[in-house]
Structure 1
């Protein structure tokens, strides 16, 4: 009887496997062989060598056909409900084309410092959305995916983008997990709490037509009690912006059982539409077992100048600061606290000072920044804020005292104290007598109205130039008022003529592209030519300045065209 010789296998892994693709596990066997490679695992029914890969692919093709042929028809899925109708007027065709162009733009990938003369379209999208929302237009359906993608990548775009996208954005977000942020942002609509009246009772959530509410909007209390942390934060923030009292009541239902880090986050939501009605709840939070929660509650209470907390802190701070009339010139004297007692800690004063900071000055700063600013005039001889700030301060306490007053003015949004601490913009000391940093000056400006803010920054630029003005420009209303716009352009022109290092002004130039009034474009033509470079100028600076001004003019004209496209045509004219 003859015997068939079988080649010896080099390893157990090379033993041939079943060639029948219908056997159980055959498909998994083929996948394993493909992952390992035919050199390490011989396909079933094939000899090692060059034909092994072909045999494996043939077997996979047969198995694929067999698997498909054996599939049973699945039950048809329920068809999605149609997207809700958006009742807002349609976007003008020219504006729709412009939006598609803005959404298709991508930031440049070049690492060079020169941007050329082309506008940065993505940086114009926020202004376009603001103008479209102001006119009440509906987003065209074809651009909604790109709009949601843009909002997903830039959180600063989300509020305006979702408002413009309307109810259809929520409909799409339920079909694509990448856009779930839209659903989280929409939490809080259709809310009804015990003892409150839901403004959408008669027709669904506000502005939704009754069809774009979150899936569990009918039970916000259940969402608050059982939802994910991000959903609860979004729910509380949305409700707080619409109905502050209802948000506070919702928070109170679970406050005692929340984790300390969650209490801190939830308490922070009360900054929105903070009012004296929140005082009782915040007073309870002052007794919280978490130091950070107590500190946040104290900060919020100090933003209510008429609160009992602010008055308590004013009494403590008033003991520390007095006017000494025995000197040739009335002088403020400071006697910082010698201890941080239990009552002070209960009111949110942090006892342990940061590294490098003296304890007494640390306690003093906390008392002064939390005290009601309105009490200082009464305690210091009826002087106005400007007169108080102008007083000399003994024993080197001036910077500490003024810095605390700055924080108080920002927190309480007190315009009179902010003016006093800012001082005159043309003063030799950049920023005035009380400001301790550019960031602090920018915050103080936030307490002034838009016109006064622009005039102050224009005066500051006229005296001190642009190097220290970038943060100040960021708090000014857009478009910049004419005096501010002219001050910025004049300062840029002076820097160009002086041959200054061009890259130092790229940030201000970028702000000008977005914030200058588009009507200023016609006044900039004289700046487009390449200037003569002084001997000590940076090499190539003239060409850069010319490109930068050309880009500025082009961007301003593009913004003017955008606004014109969004302006509805007069009746009777197409």
Structure 2
């Protein structure tokens, strides 16, 4: 039987839409125009769609040819060594699949090695081969954590490509000023014009660049338009003053304390409290000092709770106690200086106000206020009426804000302390932040002591703040703790996070120490089923990954 083609005369504007609707509904419910229901309807629909497709294409009017894009900019950096270029292509094309039973197998996860490869390549100043740029931008598009290092390595040609492909527009957003060239900082006329007329991203980039070179000039530029800026823009601009923050910024920040935006006021107060010599810090010191004092009438006896009055009979020594009297109100002056009056749900108002005052007061306040004692002595003092947790938590936040290593050491305490809580830190998150104020070697030493005393069950968050590659004492502590867990037949999957960190952070020189752990161990009676095989597999992957990282570094060092 001969099929009749679908009619094509005098098509209306909605012919294509009608064919699409017919396809969605099905030809048993709706047939193309001029076609009877039946077995020929599907073929008639396809014929009609083909004809309409040709008609639509033939009806396009020719457009003006677009101009050719400007040539890609030159990248003056030296080219990658050939072996490193091949390695990069391998890292970018790897698509790991799940192993059987959800296990990762013994093969390294190459996608997790890409950030480290990029860090080394950037440190050594290499430029990427042009042909890998699309794959590199695709990888950065899918992983926001990869973008800063990937875009630094990709260089100016990544921005050139991003202007041609909408899928890579994130590169323009992630680059200060959207990839636009900023004026030379000596060109005052162009700086003023860009500040007055530029896009928001360009203005932020300009302010940040100027702040890094001439902090006072950046602040003065911001002051010229401060009163007319939107609140959300004022907040972003004010945040840029963190770089190079100094006493000369105090008058401007004091003025910002009267801003009509609460968020702007809070940020200004935070910045001022990070300047121990500021007037706001002095006001907070007076307020916080009025709440915290030594109570000589109340002492803590060795081995027992605090008691009133003189030492009890037979006690060899008594310890002074810190007494706390939290604020009874949040007055307008406190609010102007950044204290948030409304407490979060479930939080008492007075403890909320106290924490903010102590956090914003210079830490030098407390030695003068509490009898000339050093931070370790202050932190060791008992605190009356269950205020210790609140007081110490506020000191932790102050130590992080003011980057005070001495107070951080006091609040961290010894890593081997019972429960590893230290005398002041009340959470792993706080300990991690306090560790961030110490230098890399001291940080690694403290975390190594923590692992040696308490194992790996709570160490994951602390390991994340340690410099990579891990220092030798920390690496040894991690390997020893993993070996202990292996010999004990511990549930192996609970250590997968630490094992993943070790693959990325252990010094590759540790690989030789792990060879003895590659065999499947004898499983104790109470061991998790299959634990021995998992541990052997995990250590094999760790050793292979470490040796691969060593090879990557050597390739990037080749001439």
TM-score, structure 1 as length reference: 0.85
Name the CA distance, whole Å, in 1 between partners of 2:458 and 2:48: 72
Change (3 A) 1:378 1:462: same
Change (3 A) 1:290 1:41: same
Change (3 A) 1:80 1:373: same
Change (3 A) 1:289 1:107: farther
Change (3 A) 1:218 1:518: farther
2:197 paired residue number? 222
Q: How does 1:405-444 map to 2 (within 5 A)?
A: 405-444=395-434
Q: CA deviation at 1:271?
A: 3.3
Partner-residue secondary structure (3-state), 1:331:
strand
2:538 paired residue number? 548
Deviation per residue, 1:485-522 (Å, 9 max, x gap): 00110011111111111111111111111100001101
Q: How many residues align?
A: 532
Change (3 A) 1:235 1:50: farther
Q: CA deviation at 1:77?
A: 2.1
1:296 paired residue number? 267
Partner-residue secondary structure (3-state), 1:80:
coil
Change (3 A) 1:192 1:62: closer
Q: CA deviation at 1:120?
A: 1.2
1:29 paired residue number? 15
Q: CA deviation at 1:53?
A: 4.4
1:7 paired residue number? none
Name the CA distance, whole Å, in 1 between partners of 2:30 and 2:417: 83
Deviation per residue, 1:333-375 (Å, 9 max, x gap): 2222222211111101122222332222222111111011123
1:88 paired residue number? 77
Name the CA distance, whole Å, in 1 between partners of 2:51 and 2:502: 66
Structure 2 unaligned segments of length 5 or more: list them. Answer: 300-317
Task: Note if contact 1:17-1:44 (Cα within 8 Å) is conserved in structure 2.
Answer: no
Name the CA distance, whole Å, in 1 between partners of 2:247 and 2:158: 37
2:547 paired residue number? 557
Of residues 459, 464, 481, the one that matches 2:449 is 459
1:321 paired residue number? 292
Change (3 A) 1:433 1:43: closer
Name the CA distance, whole Å, in 2 between partners of 1:159 and 1:217: 29
1:160 paired residue number? 149
Change (3 A) 1:61 1:471: closer
Could you say what the CA RMSD is over the residues aligned between the two structures, in angstroms? 3.0
1:101 paired residue number? 90
Name the CA distance, whole Å, in 1 between partners of 2:193 and 2:362: 42
Partner-residue secondary structure (3-state), 1:404:
helix
Q: CA deviation at 1:107?
A: 4.7
Change (3 A) 1:63 1:522: same
1:5 paired residue number? none
Partner-residue secondary structure (3-state), 1:442:
helix
Name the CA distance, whole Å, in 1 between partners of 2:204 and 2:289: 39
Task: Note if contact 1:170-1:182 (Cα within 8 Å) is conserved in structure 2.
Answer: yes
Task: Note if contact 2:292-2:323 (Cα within 8 Å) is conserved in structure 1.
Answer: yes
Partner-residue secondary structure (3-state), 2:420:
coil
Deviation per residue, 1:148-171 (Å, 9 max, x gap): 111112222111111100110010
Of residues 493, 514, 525, the one that matches 1:503 is 493
1:391 paired residue number? 381
Change (3 A) 1:235 1:510: farther
Change (3 A) 1:72 1:539: closer
Q: How does 1:45-64 map to 2 (within 5 A)?
A: 46-58=35-47, 61-62=50-51, 64=53
Partner-residue secondary structure (3-state), 1:330:
strand
2:465 paired residue number? 475
Partner-residue secondary structure (3-state), 1:322:
strand
2:517 paired residue number? 527
Name the CA distance, whole Å, in 1 between partners of 2:287 and 2:444: 37
Change (3 A) 1:59 1:248: same
Of residues 182, 187, 191, the one that matches 2:182 is 191
Task: Note if contact 1:353-1:362 (Cα within 8 Å) is conserved in structure 2.
Answer: yes
Change (3 A) 1:35 1:356: closer
Q: CA deviation at 1:387?
A: 1.7
Change (3 A) 1:172 1:241: farther
Partner-residue secondary structure (3-state), 1:323:
strand
TM-score, structure 2 as length reference: 0.87
Deviation per residue, 1:127-165 (Å, 9 max, x gap): 100100111000111110111111112222111111100
Answer yes or no: is 1:278 the counterpart of 2:249. yes
Q: How does 1:140-289 map to 2 (within 5 A)?
A: 140-188=129-177, 190-192=181-183, 197-198=186-187, 219=194, 221-224=196-199, 227=200, 244-245=215-216, 247-249=218-220, 251-289=222-260
1:310 paired residue number? 281
Name the CA distance, whole Å, in 2 between partners of 1:467 and 1:104: 35
Change (3 A) 1:388 1:31: closer
Q: CA deviation at 1:396?
A: 2.2
Structure 1 unaligned segments of length 5 or more: list them. Answer: 1-15, 202-215, 570-574
Change (3 A) 1:401 1:115: same
